Amino acid sequence: MSQVAALGGLTVLSCRPAGRGQSFHARVEAAGGRVVRLPLVEVRPPADGGVALADALSRLDTFDWIACTSVNGVEALAGTELPPGLRLAAVGPATAAAFEGVLGRNALVIPRVHTARGLVDGFPPRPGRVLAPLAELASDDLAVGLTERGYEVEVVTAYSTAVPEVSDRALEEATGAEVAVISSPSIATRLVDLLGHRVPPVAVTTGPRSTAAAADHFGDVVESSPEGLFDSLVELAARTR
């Protein structure tokens, strides 16, 4: 099968924030798929306007690590000058690429399992001080896990998320999708709240939390990794066409 025909007209619902995922969308369309965009997350500054983050960044020389679990967390650090000895830990390749692109520094730790717990396991057994710029409602998996390993962790809210307004036309188009890409539990919940029983029959999820959130609402749930999304879609297309 040629790369161009790999998806054979598969209609994929993407709920990523507006302006995100362009390369993934382009790859899907180049392979014969169709992307339906329904942004369900809007990234906003934290409630304190970034005061806590600015304070932590003013003390960067007291930290040994910065650990980020999302591209959004890295982007909140734009313009920051990193001390030479500060090490970076990224939950996955996309976050690592953001470190390089935004801060000009490579991540030392990129775990095999791209979750907060996987990131914890990727840290070396040499405790130090970690700054974790996370989402307002992020789980405590990273902080708890690193603390259990002897690290001192300071968590700061780097950004918050909100639900953007969605038009009736966008919702109607979303109901015609064959596959929904679910990148977080909140995305699964919001999609179900909006579409109810009209959600796409298949969800491709990235990570166990997303899988658990989608399990009761989609006819078929395929767990993938962010890097394996496209291949999972190709396999689905081959199975259903």
**pTM as predicted:** 0.82
- Distance separating the N- and C-terminal Cα atoms of the chain: 12
Q: Where are the beta strands (DSSP E) in 111-167?
A: 129-135, 152-162
Same fold, 11-41+163-240 and 44-161: yes
Residue 85, SS3 per DSSP = coil
Enumerate the domain spans of the chain.
11-41+163-240, 44-161
In DSSP notation, 167-224 reads -HHHHHHHTT-SEEEE-SHHHHHHHHHHHGGGS-SEEEEESHHHHHHHTTTSSEEEEE
Confidence band for 1, pLDDT divided at 50, 70 and 90? very low
Q: 11-41+163-240 in CATH: which number?
A: 3.40.50.10090
Q: What is the DSSP string of 1-37?
A: --STTTTTT-EEEE-PPTT--HHHHHHHHHTT-EEEE
Q: How large is the average pLDDT for residues 132-153?
A: 96
Neighbouring C-alpha atoms within 13 Å toward the C-beta of 100: 11
At 163, the pLDDT band (50, 70, 90 cuts) reads confident
Looking at per-residue pLDDT, the higher value among 86 and 216 belongs to 86
4 pLDDT more than 80: no
Best-predicted range by mean pLDDT (8-17, 99-108, 112-121) = 99-108
The fold of the 44-161 domain, in CATH, is: Rossmann fold (3.40.50)
Q: What's the whole-number average pLDDT of the chain?
A: 93
